[in-house]
Structure 1
Amino acid sequence: MRCAVITKPLCVEITEAPKPEIEEGQILIKSHTVSICGSDMPYFLNERALQYPLPLGFPGHECIGTIVETRNKALKEGDYVLSIPNGDRGFAEYFVSHPSRTVSIPYLNNKFVIAQPLGTVIHACRKLFQSILPDAEKDKYSLERDKWNLTEKKVVIVGQGSIGLLFTAMMKLMNAETIIGIDLVNYRLDASQKIGATHIINCLESNISDMLYKITDGLMADLAIEAVGKDSTINDCFRLVKRSGVVLAFGVPRKSVYEFDFPDFFNREIKLIGSLGPDIQTEFPIAVELIANDKVDSSILISHILSIDDIQKAFEFVTEHKDNAIKILMNM
């Protein structure tokens, strides 16, 4: 089978490898579409001090495909699925997974790859809603109830890459009053407006604190979502929220120790929340349903659909913001 391997920093190659064999309880999936996640980039850029080459297919984990072999009664051959491969080895023609890491999709379509990152965003939104609206806990998986409504809330999302755009879409879906997208790339800000932002700010062209003060009539944001992964943007979020505001740290950390404006955080009683992985069997199906019903327009995020043979170019496009790249999908 064909698979990709990161052989050294900044270099991905396509190679041939034996089709994997499955053990009891596992499933084998023939990949249809995979995509590059922001969390893949540190491995490509050598920000984790790893030994190269990396394992075959690693770190691909946003994948859809068809089950071609199963040793588990929960799923059957021929099922279309969204699945996180065992060992995150999804940049491959075939990969092994488990039903606990897999959910059904109604049909094969590139757009359902977006349900994986959207599921992680839904997981984060649940945590946010519980912080802003504490009585939401007992209905934590419902997205239809009035208590999940963010009417009158002012939200700022720092970073409008694919994850930031999905947060923007979710804030619109939850009826936030003001949704402010911040980025340093204008084409991403254009996408932000298309997917739900009421206001956009280019942080290279404007002082974001001053602009937010004007937009909110001096009230600042109830909630700031950090979708970049830098200490500078975390500290920006502290300055953008009101006293006792909430900051969600979602961007993938790019180093182990961050400089932290603790006095600002402490003195203004800011609440900081971290979020990473979803409850796959609960939140991925919600994401699939939202995309299937066009409640979240995945086409705004998907900037390129390439072949897996072009994975080197795909990583370069993401790294260098080439060709208006946002979310790059690759077909096998």
Structure 2
Amino acid sequence: MNQATMRALIFEAPGVIRCVDDAPRPEPGEGEVLVHCSHAGLCGSSIGAYTGEGGWARAARPSKPGWTGHENAGVIAASRCAALREGLRVLAVPHAWNGFAEYFTAAPDMVVSLPSDAGDFGAYVAAQPLATILNALSRMPSPAGKTCAVVGQGPIGLMFTDMLVRADAARLIAIDQVAWRLDWSRRFGATDVVEASDADSGHSANSDDHAESDDSDDSARVIPGQRKAADERHRAGGERPLDVHSRPGVDRPTVEYPNLARRVDLQRERAGQREIEAGTE
């Protein structure tokens, strides 16, 4: 490997990823920066790119080097933008979503500089998926003092749980089919956990504490087996008991660097389908 090449991942075929060390290193265009990547997040959208299912079946194979990485942190290695100097630590959304690579280029409006005392550099990659959650929060009424539930306690669900707790929800019900995830739900502040391994009956791991409580707020009760009935009532003109995959909603929940995360979210929105389709050309 020399100055003109770099390491990168290539989606070679459905279910097949290859790491190469001779991918061409990109050069920043006018106004752009070249980022030496230190951390990359694995988005759920990349799972489809790996399996080749759904719309991803149309994606070109083998892919361009680095595709479909788009949640990155790194250090600016070269800059053609006066506002972004070399050596600056940044979060960035790579051009054409090619962030599964050692180097990538990015436009200045897709780069956010990090403070010099940022601490755990890699943890900042989570600001990008967190931005999706904060965006949902901004569209919701405040959950403060209310009972809320989150169905699914994977990485995004746990972030939802954490933000709802930080937004002063009085009671947080975490629901998942995987028992060990619920241990993490408790660590993130869930007051109740429901192991939904049986779709027709819910088992609350701490139901003795709350099974008969909060009778005045039946709309907040979401247990496995009730979701389908709730959706049917909603379609018939009734009120949905709880839209569980929404985010808590205070104007500005108490989280670190919310403005940074929000800015990244807006940048990713602007990137939109154009960035995704770049891997299919």
What TM-score does the superposition give when structure 1 sets the normalisation length?
A: 0.62
1:159: which partner in 2? 152
Pairing 1:3–2:1 present? no
1:109: which partner in 2? 121
CA distance in 2, matches of 1:88, 1:221: 41
- C-alpha distance after superposition, 1:64-118 (max 9, x if no partner): 0001111222211111011111111110000111221121222462211111111
User: 1:2, 1:92 within 8 Å by CA — same for their partners in 2?
Assistant: yes
CA distance in 2, matches of 1:18, 1:97: 16
CA distance in 1, matches of 2:218, 2:11: 43
Q: 2:217 aligns with which of 211, 216, 219?
A: 219
Higher strand share: 1
What TM-score does the superposition give when structure 2 sets the normalisation length?
A: 0.73
- C-alpha distance after superposition, 1:192-220 (max 9, x if no partner): 11012111111114756686994653734
Letter in 2 for 1:71: R
Letter in 1 for 2:80: R
1:29: which partner in 2? 35
CA distance in 2, matches of 1:236, 1:21: 54
User: In percent, how many aligned pairs have the same letter?
Assistant: 32
Q: 2:235 aligns with which of 259, 265, 275?
A: 265
For 1:171-320, what aligned pairs fall within 5 Å after superposition?
A: 171-205=164-198, 207=200, 214=211, 216-217=214-215, 219-222=217-220, 237=227, 239=229, 261=231, 264-270=234-240, 285-286=257-258
For 1:96-175, what aligned pairs fall within 5 Å after superposition?
A: 96-106=105-115, 107=118, 109-128=121-140, 132=141, 148=142, 150-175=143-168
CA distance in 2, matches of 1:181, 1:187: 12
1:143: which partner in 2? none
User: 2:194, 2:202 within 8 Å by CA — same for their partners in 1?
Assistant: no
Q: 2:47 aligns with which of 37, 41, 44?
A: 41
Per-residue deviation, 1:284: 9.6
User: 1:89, 1:95 within 8 Å by CA — same for their partners in 2?
Assistant: yes
User: 1:115, 1:287 within 8 Å by CA — same for their partners in 2?
Assistant: no
Decide whether aligned partners of structure 1 residues 274 and 171 sit closer, same or farther in structure 2, where only a CA change above 3 A counts. closer
Q: 1:53 aligns with which of 44, 47, 62?
A: 62
Decide whether aligned partners of structure 1 residues 194 and 41 sit closer, same or farther in structure 2, where only a CA change above 3 A counts. same
Letter in 1 for 2:151: V
1:72: which partner in 2? 81
Per-residue deviation, 1:237: 4.8
Computing the radius of gyration from Cα coordinates, the structure with the larger value is 2
Contiguous gaps of at least 5 residues in structure 1: 133-147, 225-232, 241-260, 276-282, 290-332
Decide whether aligned partners of structure 1 residues 74 and 208 sit closer, same or farther in structure 2, where only a CA change above 3 A counts. farther
SS of the equivalent of 2:169 reads: coil
CA distance in 1, matches of 2:85, 2:78: 8
Letter in 1 for 2:122: N
CA distance in 1, matches of 2:111, 2:216: 46
Decide whether aligned partners of structure 1 residues 52 and 189 sit closer, same or farther in structure 2, where only a CA change above 3 A counts. same
Contiguous gaps of at least 5 residues in structure 2: 1-5, 247-254, 262-281
